[in-house]
Amino acid sequence: MIRRASPAGQPGAAHGLRLATARRIGVCSDMPRYDAKRIESKWQAFWEAHGTFATPDFPVGEKLYVLDMFPYPSGEGLHVGHPEGYTATDIVCRYNRMRGKTVLHPMGWDAFGLPAEQHAIKTGTHPRETTDRNIATFRRQLKMLGFSYDWSREVATTDPEYFRWTQWIFLKIYDTWFDPDCAWTDAAGKTRCGKGRPISELPIPDAVRAAGPDAVRRYQDERRLAYQYEAPVNWCPALGTVLANEEVIGGVSERGGHPVVRIPLRQWMLRITAYAERLLDDLDSVAWPESIKALQRNWVGKSEGAEVDFPIGGASGDFAAWKATRLQAGFPAEPLDDVLRIYTTRPDTLFGATYMVLAPEHPCVDRLTTPQYRTAVDDYRRQAAMKSDLDRTDLAKEKTGVFTGAFAVNPVNGEQIPIWIADYVLVSYGTGAIMAVPAHDLRDWEFAVRFELPIRPVVAAHDDYQPTKEERALAREVNGRTEFPFAGLGAAINSGEYTGLTTADFKEAITRRLAAEGLGRGAVNYRLRDWLFSRQHFWGEPFPLWHELDASGNPTGLLRTVPEADLPVTLPEMRHFKPHGRPEPPLAEAPPEWLYTTAPDGVPLVRETNTMPQWAGSCWYYLRFIDPRNDAAFIAPDKERAWMPVDLYIGGAEHAVLHLLYSRFWHKVLFDRGCVSGDEPFRRLVNQGMILGEAELTGYQDESGQWVSARQVVDGPDENQPKLNAGTRRPVVAVRLDTRQTTKLGNEFVLEANPEIVVESRAFKMSKSRGNVVNPDQVVANYGADALRLYEMFMGPLEAAKPWSMSGVEGVSRFLARVWRMIADERSDDVRLSDAVSAVPPSADQLRLLHKTIQAVTADIESLSFNTAISRMMEFVNALTAQEPRPRAVLEPFVLLLSPLAPHLAEELWQLLEHTQSLAYEPWPEFDPACVVEHEVEVPVQINGKLRGKIKTPPGADEPTARGLAQADPRIAELLAGKQVVKIVFVSDRLLNFVVR
C-alpha cells in the first residue's frame, strides 16, 4: 500500500504523486475516505453486541418515554416517510440519554391487517407467514438506519402473548358500564362526573330482578361498554364476502368492481359515546397541536339543545289531558308510544314548527303510517335502505320525502302538524326525529318549499341583517316579495308570551318551562357514534366470548366470557382462506373443535366468530412496551406508574382522529377500572409532515400534439377520466417536462419556447402508480444511513409536507464527508487522525464558534427544529475546516453535538479521537455564556426605518455611544445633514434608527 504522497513541488515528486493518485482510484473502497457502509455496519453491530440501548425495568432518575407510531408491516417494505418521524424521535432519545435521562424507546408491529388476508385468499399462504416475512423486512430496514430502540421490547399485535392481553382488556371493557352520575376527583383536584364501573355494581330495578337471572343478565348486557347491535355491512355477493369500507369504492368492490349492497349483520359496538364529554374535556390537559385538538373536537361534535315530546294524533281534549298527565308524572326517561320525541338545538323556534320529519328507519314509522299512505311510505323506505351513505349524503340532490298520513301536536301551542319521513333526517343522530322549522333552518326551508308546507317566521333578525350566501341561494318569491330563511340569532316574534326575548334568553326560559311541565328536557348530543368494533375477517383478534345455545342449537342471546386463565383465544387452523359465500365471518367455517364446546353446567356454547378491528391492538401497545414479557398481567402497576405517560409521541397526521381517540377511550376505561394510573396516555404529540415525491413539471398536449395551457385544463367528469381542455372538451395528455424547457413568468411556470403555455409545477404524494416512490434501501446503499437520516431532518420543519430531492441527499452526504475530513486523515491508508487535529488550546474565536453552536444546536433539538440545528453544524464545519491546526477541544464537543443526528459517523470519529467507550452516554456539551461574548457588535443604522449603514459598537453599548459612532460615519453624517432628528430608536446590539424630518 502507498504511504502518504509526497507534497507537490518537491523535486521528483510529481511522478510519484500521479502514480499514487492513479492507484488510489483503483482501490478506492479500502481507502479511508468517508465510508458510510463500513462505519454503519460496524457501529450497528457494536450497539447490538453491547446492548447499548437496553432500557432498565425502572428509570434511574428522570424518565423519558418517547414513542413512534408503530408501523403496519406492509409487503412494500419501509417507505421514506417512515424514517422521518423515527429519526426525529431517535435524535430526541439520544440527546436525552446524554442529558442523563433514562429513555424508553421501543418499536413493534401493528401486524393484523387486511392485505395479509387478501394475499391469503389469492395464494393460500397463511397470513401469519406473510406477516412474519414482512416484519423481518421492516426490522432489517429499521436496524439498517441505526435507531436506538430497545429491541428486546419488540412486540407484534399478532403475537398470541400480545393479543392475549388485547382480549383481556376487551373483557375489562365488556365488564364495565358507564355511570353518568358517578362523581370523582381527577389528578388536578377537579370534581368530575361520569365513570366506568364494574357491571356487578350496576343497580338492577326490582322488576328486572323479579323476572329472574336471565332477565338480569340481559339488562346488564344492554348497558355494558361492549354490546351487540345489528349494523349494516358491505356485502358483496359476487365475492361472497363482507368488505371493509376501504374496499368499497364508489359503490362497487375495489377488487373486481362487483356491486356491493348494504345488509344488516350482528356486530359488536363499543360505547365510546359515553366517554364523549371526557374525551372532549381532557384535550385541555395534553400538549398536542391545536389543529389536532380541533380535529378531535370536531369529530366528537358536541351540541346542546333540548328533547321535546310531541303527542301523536290527538284532538284538543286529548291534548289537554295529556298535558295534565305530564305535569303530574314528569318527562319519561324513554318516550312512550303516544309521543314522538325530537331533538333540537333551537327550542326557541318551537312556535315555528310546521311539520315533523322522521328518519326512514325510525321505529315509529310503521305504526304511524295510515293505510292510505302505506305504499308510498314503504317504497320510500325501501329506496332509502338501498342507497349507500354516499348517495344519501349527496348535498347536490333535491330533498325527498313522503307524508305518513299521521299528525302530531306541538306541545307549546296545541297545533296539529303533519308527520313526514325524509332521508335528510338521520336515524343515528339525536332521536332520529325532528321538528321542522322551515323559516329558520335551511334544510327544512328547502323541504318545505319543495312540498309546499307552511313557513312561519318566529325569529326576527336585526334591522341591517344581510342574508348569508346560503340563505340567499334559497330565496323564493311570494306575491312579488323575496323571502329568505334566517338561521341566525335574533329576537322572538309570533311566540306567545315569549315574543321579544333574545334567542339565548328564550332557549333558557323555554327549556326550564318544558322541563317543569314534563314536556321536554335539556339534552346534549354528539356527532360521534359508537365504535363498530367487529370485522368479518380471519386475520384479527378473536373475541373471548361464547354464545349460549338452546336445545335445538339456536343462540339464546346470552353470553359467557372465556375465563382469564384460558386466554388467549387463538385463531383456529383453517384449511383454506377462500370466502365461504355467506355474510357470516370466515371463522364461522372454523373446525368444530374450535367452534363448539359445552360449559361445565352442560349448556352448549358456540364461539363468537367476528374478529376485532386493526385498531384494537394499537389501542394499548404503548402500555405493553413498558412490560412486554409479563405473563401475569398486561402490565405491572409499578412499572406503569414509573413510565407513563408517553412524553413524546410522533406519527402521521392520518391518525389524528381515530387511533388517538380510540386509544384515549381505552385508556380512560382502564383508568376508571383502576388498571392504569393516569387518564391520558400521550402527554405531547407531534405529527410529522408527509414526504412527497420529487417536484414535477407537467405540460398538457391535445391529440394533435398541440400544447394546452394548464389554465385551460380541467378534470374529467369523474376521477378516473382523463383531463380535458376546458374550451374544446377534448381530452389532453400530461407530459413530464425538464426544468430547462420551462421558465418562470410571474407566479407561474411557462414553456420556454411558448410563454403562453402555462405548465403545472407540483410535488405529488409518492405512489406506485405515479412511479415516484423513493426506496430507503437504495438511498442507504448509495449514501448511507447517516445521510438519509440527516437529509430527512434537513428537508425542512418536521411538521411540514416536503418534496424529496435526491440532490439534497447528496448535499448532506457531502457535509458528512467534510466532517470526516475535518477530523480523519483522508490521504492515509489506514483510519487515522488528520495531522491538522491538535491538542493546542482553542482561540477565543474558535471557542465562541463552538459555544454558539452548542447553544443553537441544543435549543434547536429541544424545539425539534432539526433543520436549523444541521445548518448550524454546517456553518461550524465550514469555518473550522478552513483552519489549521484544529484543536481537539472544539472538535470533541462538536462530535457529541452531531451524534444524535449522525450517530454512526460520530461514534467512529469519537473512537478515532482516542475514546474507548461509546459516546451514547457521554454528557451533552454545556454551553458557556462567557465564551460567546463578542468584543465588537455590528449594528445596523437606519434612517426612517431604511438601512443606511452599519457601525461597530462594543457589546451592550448605550445610546449616546452608538449615536456618536453613527454620526461619525461619513455617509450617515451626510444623510443626516440638514435634517431634523425627531426621534431616535435604539436597541442595544440590535439597531439604531434615526427618525428625521
Partner RNA sequence: GCCGAAGUGGCGGAAUGGCAGACGCAGCGGAUUCAAAAUCCGCCGCCCGUAAAGGGCAUGAGGGUUCGACUCCCUCCUUCGGCACCA
Q: Which of positions 383-402 make contact with RNA (CB under 7 A)?
A: 392-395, 397, 399
Nearer to RNA, 432 or 586 (CB): 432
Q: Is 836 one of the binding residues for RNA (CB under 7 A)?
A: no
3-state secondary structure labels for all residues of 899-951: CCCCHHHHHHHHHHCCCCCCHHHCCCCCCCHHHHCCCCEEEEEEECCEEEEEE
Q: How far apart are CA 141 and CA 780, in angstroms?
A: 10
Residue 788 makes contact with RNA by CB under 7 A: no
Distance in Å, CB of 48 to RNA, minimum: 31
870 scored as a contact of RNA (CB under 7 A)? yes
User: Minimum Å distance from CB 658 to RNA?
Assistant: 9
Range list of H helices, 474-613 = 503-516, 592-595
The x, y and z cell numbers of residue 955, run together, are 457589546
The answer to whether 469 contacts RNA (rule: CB under 7 A) is yes
Residue ranges in 631-660 that form contacts with RNA under rule CB under 7 A: 653, 657
Residue 117 parent element (H or E): helix 114-123
How far is 751 from 41, CA to CA, in rounded Å? 47
Residue type (1 letter), 834: S
Q: How far is the CB of 759 from RNA (least distance, A)?
A: 12
Among 231, 295, 509, 735, binds RNA (CB under 7 A): 295
9 binds RNA (CB under 7 A): no
- With CB under 7 A as the contact rule, the residue among 99, 133, 456, 814 that binds RNA is 814
Write the DSSP assignment of 219-275 as a string of letters.
HHHTTBSEEEEEEEEEEETTTTEEE-GGGEETTEETTTT-B-EEEEEEEEEE-GGGG
What is the b/e burial string over 379-414, where b = at least 16 CB atoms within 10 angstroms of the residue's CB?
A: ebbeebeeebeeeeeeeeeebbbbbbbbbbbbbbee
**Closer of 523 and 623 to RNA (Cβ):** 523
- Opening angle at CA 103, ends 102 and 107, nearest 5: 150
Q: Does 898 bind RNA (CB under 7 A)?
A: no
Size of the site for RNA (CB under 7 A): 89
712 binds RNA (CB under 7 A): no
Contact assessment for residue 653 and residue 660, using Cβ atoms and an 8 Å cutoff: no
Q: What mask, x for binding RNA by CB under 7 A, covers residues 330 to 359?
A: -------------xxxx------------x
| CA distance to 417, 475, 506, 614, per residue, from 481 (Å) | 26, 10, 29, 58
In this structure, are residues 881 and 817 in contact, taking their beta carbons and an 8 Å threshold?
Answer: no
- From candidates 636, 817, 889, 932, binder to RNA by CB under 7 A: 817
Whether 281 and 539 have beta carbons less than 8 Å apart is answered as no
Please state at what angle helix 903-912 crosses helix 806-823, rounded to 10 degrees. Answer: 10
103 or 897: CB nearest RNA: 897
Tell me: does residue 455 bind RNA (CB under 7 A).
no
User: Site residues for RNA, window 523-542 (CB under 7 A)?
Assistant: 525, 527
Sole binder of RNA in the list 232, 330, 797, 842 (CB under 7 A): 797
- Helix, strand or coil, per DSSP, at residue 857: helix
What is the smallest separation between the CB atom of 263 and RNA, expressed in angstroms? 21
Look up residue 30 and give its DSSP letter: G
Mask for 162-201, x = binds RNA (CB under 7 A): ----------------------------------------
Q: Quick check: 905 binds RNA (CB under 7 A)? A: no
d(C-alpha 20, C-alpha 13), whole Å: 11
Under the binding rule (CB under 7 A), the answer on residue 795 touching RNA is yes
Q: What is the nearest approach in angstroms of RNA to the Cβ of residue 838?
A: 19
* Strand partners for 226: 270
Minimum CB–partner distance for residue 769 and RNA (Å)? 15
- The stretch near RNA (CB under 7 A) out of 18-26, 100-108, 319-327, 571-579 is 18-26
Stretch that binds RNA, among 52-60, 191-199, 698-706, 802-810 (CB under 7 A): 802-810
Question: Interface with RNA includes 443 (CB under 7 A)?
Answer: yes
Determine contact, residues 493/516, Cβ cutoff 8 Å.
no
Closest approach of RNA to the CB of residue 995, in Å: 5
Least distance in angstroms from the C-beta of 23 to RNA: 12
User: What is the nearest approach in angstroms of RNA to the Cβ of residue 15?
Assistant: 10
Matching residue, cell 412511479: 771
Residue 426 binding RNA, by CB under 7 A:
yes
Q: How far apart are CA 720 and CA 250, in angstroms?
A: 11
Q: Which of 318/530 has CB closer to RNA?
A: 530
Nearest distance in Å: CB 527, RNA: 4
Q: Which of residues 720-749 bind RNA (CB under 7 A)?
A: 739, 744, 747
Nearest to 356 by CA among 422, 261, 279, 412: 422
DSSP labels for 578-596?
S--SSSS-GGGGS-HHHHE
Which residue in the set 182, 199, 642, 695 belongs to the binding site for RNA (CB under 7 A)?
A: 695
Site string for RNA, 872-891 (x = CB under 7 A): --xx--x--xx---------
Nearest to 886 by CA among 873, 877, 875: 877
- In the shown chain, the binding pattern of residues 912 to 951 toward RNA, with x for contact by CB under 7 A and - for none, equals --------------------------x-x-x-xxxxx-x-
Report how far apart the first and last C-alpha atoms of the chain are (Å, whole number).
76
CA-to-CA distance for 403 and 697, rounded, in angstroms? 57
Shortest distance in whole angstroms from residue 950 CB to RNA: 6
Contact between 327 and RNA by CB under 7 A: the answer reads no
Q: How near is the Cβ of 980 to RNA at its closest, in Å?
A: 14
Residue 449 is a binding residue for RNA (CB under 7 A): no
Task: Looking at residues 275 to 294 of the shown chain, list those that interact with RNA (rule: CB under 7 A).
Answer: 290-291, 294
CB of 987 to RNA, least distance (A): 5
Using DSSP, state whether 417 is helix, strand or coil: strand
| Residue (561 or 698) nearer to RNA, CB | 698
| SS3 category, 743 | strand
Contact of 772 with 693, CB cutoff 8 Å: yes
Asked if 828 interacts with RNA (CB under 7 A), we say: no
* Residue with smaller CB distance to RNA, 101 or 507: 507
Which lies closer to RNA via its Cβ, residue 220 or residue 865?
865
Closest to RNA by CB, 274 or 870: 870
SS3 427: coil
The nearest distance, CB 494 to RNA, in angstroms, is 18
Residue 698 vs 865, nearer CB to RNA: 865
Least distance in angstroms from the C-beta of 726 to RNA: 14
**Is 981 among the residues that bind RNA (CB under 7 A)?**
no
- Give the nearest distance from C-beta 176 to RNA in angstroms: 25
361 phi/psi in degrees, rounded to 5:
-90, 0
Alpha helix locations (H) across 268-360?
Answer: 276-281, 290-300, 316-329
User: Residue 774 carries which side chain, given as an amino acid letter?
Assistant: V
> Which residues inside 22-61 make contact with RNA, applying CB under 7 A?
22, 25
Closer Cβ to RNA, 68 or 441, answer by number: 441
Residue of 232, 240, 301, 604 that binds RNA (CB under 7 A): 301
Assess 240 for contact with RNA (CB under 7 A): no
Q: Segment contacting RNA (CB under 7 A): 86-94, 419-427, 605-613, 919-927?
A: 419-427
Beta-sheet strands, E only, within 84-205: 102-104, 176-185, 191-198
